[in-house]
Amino acid sequence: MKIGALQEVIIDADSRRYIIIYTRRTIPIIYRYTYEESFTMKVHVLASGSTGNAVLFQFGESKILVDAGISCRRIEHGLQAIGTRAGELDAVLLTHEHTDHIKGLDVFIRKYQLPVFTRPATWSRIDCRKKFPGECIKEMEGTFSLGRVLIEPFAISHDAIDPVGFCFYYGKRKAVIATDLGMVSREVEQALSFTDIAVLESNHDPQMLKNGPYPPYLKKRIEGREGHLSNFDTARLLSSVPRHNPMQVLLAHISQQNNHPMLAQQTVSKIMQDSGCEVGREIGIYPTFPHHGISCTMTRAFAVNAPLFQWADLLAKQDGRGKAN
């Protein structure tokens, strides 16, 4: 073995990892390291807005689509653009039954036969469920798992039968999606706390909504407790929740008539800065778009510890004549 070469070995049933460092000395040095699988978490917003919503969450090899509010073809093309095929998805999760969140569900699920998770009451409002095989219809209540991903639905305030957001836990990473909510409840605040990546609604600018073309009843609905969050609401929420790691926020469901992606980003960023948060270092804020995607990735790898023992100790451990620390 060449001097300076590395070799990884696994010793005993405890599967602890060791790195052998070959040096000029006769006996190589052994390092033990704490191995943590590289927890790669990716969020791809395929589309976001009143014309349709679809977000892919990828945790290692697990791939979960939240909402199917665009056509089957657009979902397929959006997934292909990020190197994923629809057949590779583990599941589809639905936040609620409004058309801009389920528009492509019928064709997509009949084509790919994927499991779809949502609330029982939400299923009762989705007529196309009658066309799906029974194994595709999954009712969710509390926390559940898909592979190594723990998923926690939480209630949100919107004019749907039983709308939810989702928390995803993968290793020590956390991702959240919360769109279509008219007010910030304690449950929403808790969901956003200590989050690494958040897909969070920033729907409208109050002044643009007030002066915009919508009829009074629709303006009242949007501003109501079961409507949508404004840029200011979103900023206040983000400035109030605790953070531990740099947090990445994708501003979602931005209105095409009553907001603008850059306006949402600037408004939220300014309020965060005024609250004492260093935007860009403590938190990243990025707008999403109705017709093209945006992605965010976070990765964590393993850490190597100090040298523990030498080759003779390793042999003694294997023979039962000694003990490694």
> pLDDT tens, 240-274?
999 987 899 999 999 999 999 999 999 999 999 99
Three-state SS for 24-81 is CCCCCEEEEEECCCCCCEEEEEEECCCCCCEEEEEECCEEEEECCCCCHHHHHHHHHH
- For residue 196, what are its two tokens? 């690494």
Pairing assessment for the beta strands 54-59 and 41-47 based on DSSP bridges: antiparallel
List of domains in the chain = 6-35+302-319 (no CATH), 41-298 (3.60.15.10)
pLDDT score for 2: 41
Buried residues in 260-295 as b, exposed as e (16+ CB within 10 A): bbebbbebbbebbeeeebebeeebebebbebeebbe
Q: Give, in order, the Cα–Cα distances in Å from 151 to each of 68, 143, 169, 192.
A: 18, 6, 6, 14
pTM: 0.81
Per-residue pLDDT, 321: 40
Per-residue pLDDT tens, the chain, 325 aa: give them: 443 334 434 333 344 444 444 444 445 544 444 444 456 899 999 999 999 999 999 999 999 999 999 999 999 999 999 999 999 999 999 999 999 999 999 999 999 999 999 999 999 999 999 999 999 999 999 999 999 999 999 999 999 999 999 999 998 899 999 999 999 999 999 999 999 999 999 999 999 999 999 999 999 999 999 999 999 999 999 999 999 878 999 999 999 999 999 999 999 999 999 999 999 999 999 999 998 889 988 875 433 333 444 434 444 444 444 333 3
Residue 244's pLDDT is 80
Cα separation of 55 and 294, whole Å? 10
* pLDDT for position 318: 42
Token pair belonging to 116 = 């779809």
Looking at residue 38, its pLDDT comes to 57
Gap between the Cα atoms of 161 and 141, Å rounded: 14
* Tens-digit pLDDT profile for residues 177-231: 999 999 999 999 999 999 999 999 999 999 999 999 999 999 999 999 999 999 9
Sequence-ordered list of residues with C-beta below 8 angstroms from that of 275, at least 6 positions apart, any chain: 239
Quick check: 237 and 186 in contact, CB under 8 A? no
Per DSSP, what are the bridge partners of residue 155? Answer: 164
